[in-house]
Structure 1
Amino acid sequence: MKLIAAIGLAMSLLGAPVMAHEFGFAGILDKNNKEELPELTLSSGKPIAEGPLVLKSGTMYEIEIVSDGSAELALEGSGFFRAIWVNEVVVNGLEIRPFGLESVEFDDAGTMEIEFLAIKPGRYFLRQPGSTGENQRVEITIQ
């Protein structure tokens, strides 16, 4: 018990935090640290998003990706997927907790929800594989 008190005193004297910081009791997973992003749309010949996305490192996000089934379409963005921690992917009510992602693909119409924590600041993108058009990609900045 004396050792724990001594460590706490030493840390406070050195200016190191002893308690959890401003995220609160539940930390980064607190419901107050979660934001919903605009929906991404996969449709043949239509834009994926209305504009770029700006995220804040340390914030949990939820994004829906909707495919209208007009074509077999995917989104890839390994740089972006490596800059986030994926908490879960929900497809047809089934929750998947993956170690990581490289891409997602829709063979038919459907909706996928991805909940993730933005971690590594930088500029990233998600795009339809093999496409070169600006409408077939969404720019993502993590600040």
Structure 2
Amino acid sequence: MGEADEQMPGRSNSLLLSTLFVSLAQPIAAEGDKTRRAERIEPLVLNASTGFSVTQYEIETGVYYRWRIESDGLEEYKLLAPGLFRESWIDQVVIEDKEVKPFGLHAVEFDDEGEIDIWFIPQRPGEYPFFVEGLDTQGFSGVFIVR
């Protein structure tokens, strides 16, 4: 034992316990990170002639999701999901491999053909409509059922 250890007899035990705690906590932290791998839900395709490709999603609170939205580019689409966006933690929005880390989200808009990915965790159960502004009566409406 060194001179410092003789002056502080609990030092070796404290160091050992600290090391043990850190090594045990790391796997727990990794398992608890919900954003490590997103569950991909069926992509939503916005098609000028047929409307939405999907009109109902069933998802769960506390699960990390990736929602891909694809536009055919034949119309300008402003997609809103106000209740879902308000009651979810939005991790990121990815447009052409560029990430946006928003504080909140109101809508996503397509002026041309393309894809947008929304990565989110729903926080509260409920039924949340999503729709394209001005086209909701023409096949551009659906609902998220969050359990």
After TM superposition, the score normalised by the length of structure 2 is 0.74
- Name the residue aligned to 1:141: 145
- Name the residue aligned to 1:54: 58
Provide Cα deviations, 1:85-119, integer angstroms capped at 9, x if missing partner.
11000001101000011111000011111110111
Question: By how many angstroms is 1:30 displaced?
Answer: 5.1
Provide Cα deviations, 1:46-102, integer angstroms capped at 9, x if missing partner.
231334101100000001100111111111121111011110000011010000111
- Partners in 1 of 2:40 and 2:72 — Cα distance? 21
User: Alignment partner of 2:29: what SS?
Assistant: coil
User: Alignment partner of 2:52: what SS?
Assistant: coil
Q: Which ranges of structure 1 fall in alignment gaps of 5 or more residues? A: 1-19
On the 8 A contact 2:92/2:118 being kept in 1, the answer is yes
On the 8 A contact 2:45/2:54 being kept in 1, the answer is no
RMSD of equivalent CA atoms? 1.8
- Partners in 2 of 1:44 and 1:92 — Cα distance? 22
The AA in structure 1 aligned to 2:56 is P
Question: By how many angstroms is 1:138 displaced?
Answer: 1.6
| Structure with greater helix share of residues | 2
Q: Which runs of 4+ in 1 moved over 4 A?
A: none
- Name the residue aligned to 1:99: 103
- Partners in 2 of 1:73 and 1:30 — Cα distance? 28
- Partners in 2 of 1:30 and 1:132 — Cα distance? 32
User: Is 1:65 the counterpart of 2:69 in the alignment?
Assistant: yes
The AA in structure 2 aligned to 1:90 is V
- Name the residue aligned to 1:38: 42
On the 8 A contact 1:28/1:59 being kept in 2, the answer is no
Same amino acid, percent of matched pairs: 31
On the 8 A contact 1:78/1:103 being kept in 2, the answer is yes
Q: How has the CA–CA distance of structure 1 residues 140 and 86 changed in structure 2, closer, same or farther, with 3 Å as cutoff?
A: same
Question: How many residues end up aligned between the 2 structures?
Answer: 120
Q: How has the CA–CA distance of structure 1 residues 136 and 30 changed in structure 2, closer, same or farther, with 3 Å as cutoff?
A: closer
- Name the residue aligned to 2:9: none
The AA in structure 2 aligned to 1:77 is A
Provide Cα deviations, 1:22-42, integer angstroms capped at 9, x if missing partner.
xx523242546x310000111
Q: Which ranges of structure 2 fall in alignment gaps of 5 or more residues? A: 1-24
